[in-house]
A and B are shown apart, each in its own frame.
Chain A
Amino acid sequence: MKVVVCVKEVPEASARTRIDPGTKRLDRGGAAALNPFDAHAIEEALRLVAAAGDGEVVALMMAPEGAADSLRKALAMGADRAVHVADDALAGSDLVATARVLAKAVEREEADVVVLGQQGSDSDGAVLWSALADLLRLPVVSQAASLELADGKVTVKRQTEYGYDVIESPLPCVVAVSDAINEPRYPSLKGIMGAKKKPYESLAASDLGLAAEEVGEAGSRTVVRSLSEPPARGDAVRIEDGDGDAAEQVLAFLVERKLL
Chain B
Amino acid sequence: MATLVYLEHHDGELVKGSLGVLAKARQLDDEPAAVVCGSGVRELAAEAGRYGAARIHVADDVALEAPLPQPRVDVLASLVSEQGFDTVLFGASVLTADVAAALAARLGAGLNWDLVDLQVRDGELVGTRPALQDSVHVEVGWSAEPRLALVRSGTFDPVEAGGDADVVDVAAELEDFSRRAVMVESAHAESEGPSIEEADVIVAGGRGLGDPEKFGLLEELAKALGGAVAATRAVVDAGWYPYAAQVGQTGKNVSPKLYVACGISGAIQHKVGMQSSGTIVAINKDPNAPIFEYADLGVVGDLHEIVPKLTELVRGRKSA
Pick from A137, A140, A162, A170: contact of B188, CB below 8 A: A162
A residues 97-154 near B (Cβ < 8 Å) are 99-100, 122, 124-135, 137-143, 145
Contact A225 B237 (CB under 8 A): no
0 or 1 for each of A193-233: is its CB under 8 Å from B? (1 = yes): 00000000000000000000000000011111111111001
Those of A152-185 within 8 Å (CB) of chain B: 155, 158-170, 173, 178-181
Which of A94, A163, A229, A240 is the one whose CB lies under 8 Å from B136? A229
Beyond A18-B136, A222-B140, A229-B136, whether A127 also contacts B181 by CB under 8 A is no
Contact at A180–B187, with CB atoms within 8 Å? no
User: CB of B109 within 8 A of chain A?
Assistant: yes
A239 at the A/B interface (Cβ < 8 Å)?
Answer: yes
Interface size classification for chain A: 35 or more
CB of A237 within 8 Å of the partner chain? yes
Show 22 A/B contacts (Cβ-Cβ < 8 Å), sorted by A: A18-B132, A127-B100, A130-B100, A131-B111, A140-B69, A159-B250, A161-B187, A161-B249, A164-B190, A164-B243, A165-B185, A165-B187, A166-B184, A220-B143, A222-B110, A222-B142, A222-B143, A224-B141, A225-B126, A238-B292, A241-B305, A247-B312
How many Å from the CB of A152 to the closest CB on chain B? Answer: 12
Counted as pairs of residues, one from A and one from B, with CB atoms less than 8 Å apart, the total is 267
In Å, the complex CA distance between A17 and B314 comes to 38
Closest approach, in angstroms, between the C-beta of B32 and any C-beta of chain A?
21
Task: Flag whether A66 is at the interface (Cβ < 8 A).
Answer: no
How many chain B residues sit at the interface, stated as a range, is: 35 or more
C-alpha spacing A224/B141, complex, angstroms: 6
CB of B300 within 8 A of CB of A240, answer yes
Collect the chain B residues with CB atoms within 8 Å of residue A137's CB.
175, 177
Interface residues of B, Cβ cutoff 8 Å to A? 10, 15, 67-70, 73, 93-95, 97-106, 108-114, 126, 130-132, 134-144, 150, 175, 177-178, 180-190, 201, 225, 233-238, 243, 249-250, 257-258, 267-268, 279, 281, 283, 286-288, 292, 294-302, 305-306, 309-310, 312-314, 317-318
Report yes or no: B184 in contact with A221, Cβ–Cβ below 8 A.
Answer: no
What is the CB-to-nearest-CB distance from B189 to chain A, in angstroms, rounded to a whole number?
A: 5
Task: Tell me if B140 and A225 are in contact (CB < 8 A).
Answer: yes
Taken together as a complex, chains A and B put the C-alpha atoms of A99 and B236 apart, in Å, by 31
Residues on A with C-beta less than 8 A from B318 are 260
Q: Which of B132, B178, B201 has the most CB of A within 10 A?
A: B132
Any chain B CB within 8 A of the CB of A14?
yes
